[in-house]
Structure 1
Amino acid sequence: MTARSCLSIILAAGEGTRMKSALPKVLHKIAGLPMVAHVVRAAQSAGSGDLAMVIGYGAEQMREAVPAFVPEAEIFVQEERLGTAHAVLSARSAIARGYDDVLVMFGDTPLIDPAALADARARLAAGADVVVLGFRTENPAGYGRLVEKDGALVAIREDKDCTEEERRITFCNSGLMAIAGARALSLLDAVGNDNAKGEYYLTDIVEIGGARGLKIVAAEASFENALGINNRAELAGAEAIWQKRKRQEIMLSGVTMIAPETVFFSYDTEVDPDVFIEPNVYFGPGVSVEGGATIRAFSHIEGATIGPRAEVGPFARLRPGADLGEKAKVGNFCEVKKATVEAGAKINHLTYIGDARVGAGANIGAGTITCNYDGYSKFFTDIGAGAFIGSNSALVAPLTIGERAYVASGSIITENVPDDSLAFGRARQKTLPERAKLLRQRRADAAKK
Structure 2
Amino acid sequence: MSRRPVAAIILAAGMGTRMKSETHKVLHPIGGRPMLLHLMASVDEIAPERTVVVVGARREQVEAAVAHTAAVVVTQEPQLGTAHAVLQAKDALAGFEGDVLVLYGDVPFIESATMRLMLSKLNNEKDTPAAVVLGFRAAEPGAYGRIDADDGVIRKMVEFKDASPAERDIDLCNSGLLAVRADDLWPLLERVGNDNAAGEYYLPDIVMLANADGRVSRVVETAEAEVMGINSRAELAVAEARFQAGRRSFFMREGVTLTDPGSVFFAFDTEIAADVSIAPNVVFGPGVSVGAKTRIHAFSHIEGAKIGEKAEIGPYARLRPGTVLGADVKIGNFVETKKADFADGAKANHLSYIGDATVGAKANIGAGTITCNYDGFFKYKTEIGAGAFIGSNSALVAPVKIGDGAIVGAGSVMTKDVEADALAVARGVQDSKPGWAARFREAMTAKKKAAK
TM class by shorter chain equals: over 0.9
CA deviation string 1:245-266 (max 9, x = no partner): 1111121122111111111111
Within a 5 Å distance, the mapping from 1:275-290 to structure 2 comes to 275-290=276-291
The CA distance in 2 between the partners of 1:95 and 1:281, in whole Å, is: 45
Deviation of 1:2 (Å) = 7.8
In structure 2, do the counterparts of structure 1 residues 439 and 36 end up closer, same or farther at CA, with 3 Å as the change threshold? farther
Indicate the residue corresponding to 1:412 in structure 2: 413
Match of 1:92 among 90, 93, 100: 90
Indicate the residue corresponding to 1:309 in structure 2: 310
Match of 1:104 among 102, 105, 108: 102
Question: Do the aligned partners of 1:95 and 1:185 also contact (CA within 8 Å) in 2?
Answer: no
Question: Do the aligned partners of 1:57 and 1:80 also contact (CA within 8 Å) in 2?
Answer: no
Question: Do the aligned partners of 2:400 and 2:415 also contact (CA within 8 Å) in 1?
Answer: yes
Indicate the residue corresponding to 2:78 in structure 1: 80
In structure 2, do the counterparts of structure 1 residues 443 and 49 end up closer, same or farther at CA, with 3 Å as the change threshold? farther
Deviation of 1:446 (Å) = 6.1
The CA distance in 2 between the partners of 1:263 and 1:58, in whole Å, is: 34
CA deviation string 1:27-63 (max 9, x = no partner): 1111111111111112112332321011115633333
Indicate the residue corresponding to 2:179 in structure 1: 178
1:202 match: secondary structure: coil
Indicate the residue corresponding to 2:3 in structure 1: 3
Question: Do the aligned partners of 1:6 and 1:103 also contact (CA within 8 Å) in 2?
Answer: yes
Deviation of 1:151 (Å) = 3.2
Aligned: 1:63 with 2:63: yes
1:208 match: secondary structure: helix
Aligned: 1:291 with 2:289: no
Question: Do the aligned partners of 2:24 and 2:58 also contact (CA within 8 Å) in 1?
Answer: no
Deviation of 1:209 (Å) = 1.4
**Matched residue pairs, number?**
447
The normalised TM-score by structure 2 is 0.94
- Judge which range, 278-287 or 70-79, deviates more: 70-79
Letter in 1 for 2:403: G
Indicate the residue corresponding to 2:123 in structure 1: 125
The CA distance in 2 between the partners of 1:194 and 1:268, in whole Å, is: 46
- Judge which range, 406-415 or 209-218, deviates more: 209-218
Indicate the residue corresponding to 2:24 in structure 1: 24
In structure 2, do the counterparts of structure 1 residues 370 and 443 end up closer, same or farther at CA, with 3 Å as the change threshold? farther
Within a 5 Å distance, the mapping from 1:264-413 to structure 2 comes to 264-413=265-414
In structure 2, do the counterparts of structure 1 residues 442 and 236 end up closer, same or farther at CA, with 3 Å as the change threshold? farther
Question: Do the aligned partners of 1:324 and 1:343 also contact (CA within 8 Å) in 2?
Answer: yes
Within a 5 Å distance, the mapping from 1:127-276 to structure 2 comes to 127-276=128-277
CA deviation string 1:68-121 (max 9, x = no partner): xx4311111112111101000100023332242211111111222222222112
Question: Do the aligned partners of 1:321 and 1:338 also contact (CA within 8 Å) in 2?
Answer: yes
Letter in 2 for 1:80: P
The CA distance in 2 between the partners of 1:246 and 1:4, in whole Å, is: 33
Letter in 2 for 1:92: K
Deviation of 1:443 (Å) = 5.7
Question: Do the aligned partners of 1:128 and 1:180 also contact (CA within 8 Å) in 2?
Answer: no
The CA distance in 2 between the partners of 1:259 and 1:376, in whole Å, is: 43
1:347 match: secondary structure: strand
In structure 2, do the counterparts of structure 1 residues 406 and 188 end up closer, same or farther at CA, with 3 Å as the change threshold? same
The CA distance in 2 between the partners of 1:354 and 1:389, in whole Å, is: 15
Deviation of 1:175 (Å) = 1.1
Question: Do the aligned partners of 1:295 and 1:311 also contact (CA within 8 Å) in 2?
Answer: yes
The CA distance in 2 between the partners of 1:381 and 1:196, in whole Å, is: 68
Letter in 2 for 1:225: E
In structure 2, do the counterparts of structure 1 residues 58 and 298 end up closer, same or farther at CA, with 3 Å as the change threshold? closer
Deviation of 1:365 (Å) = 0.7
Letter in 2 for 1:87: A
Indicate the residue corresponding to 2:38 in structure 1: 38
The CA distance in 2 between the partners of 1:2 and 1:168, in whole Å, is: 36
The CA distance in 2 between the partners of 1:435 and 1:99, in whole Å, is: 95
In structure 2, do the counterparts of structure 1 residues 225 and 433 end up closer, same or farther at CA, with 3 Å as the change threshold? same
Indicate the residue corresponding to 2:49 in structure 1: 49
Indicate the residue corresponding to 1:114 in structure 2: 112
CA deviation string 1:191-214 (max 9, x = no partner): 112223321100101111112232
The normalised TM-score by structure 1 is 0.95
Indicate the residue corresponding to 1:14 in structure 2: 14
CA deviation string 1:6-36 (max 9, x = no partner): 1111111111111111111111111111111
- Judge which range, 41-50 or 365-374, deviates more: 41-50
The CA distance in 1 between the partners of 2:426 and 2:123, in whole Å, is: 75
Mind listing any 5+ residue stretches in structure 2 that lack a counterpart?
none
Mind listing any 5+ residue stretches in structure 1 that lack a counterpart?
none
The CA distance in 1 between the partners of 2:130 and 2:2, in whole Å, is: 19
Give percent identity, aligned residues only. Answer: 51
CA RMSD of aligned residues (A): 1.8
The CA distance in 2 between the partners of 1:404 and 1:231, in whole Å, is: 57
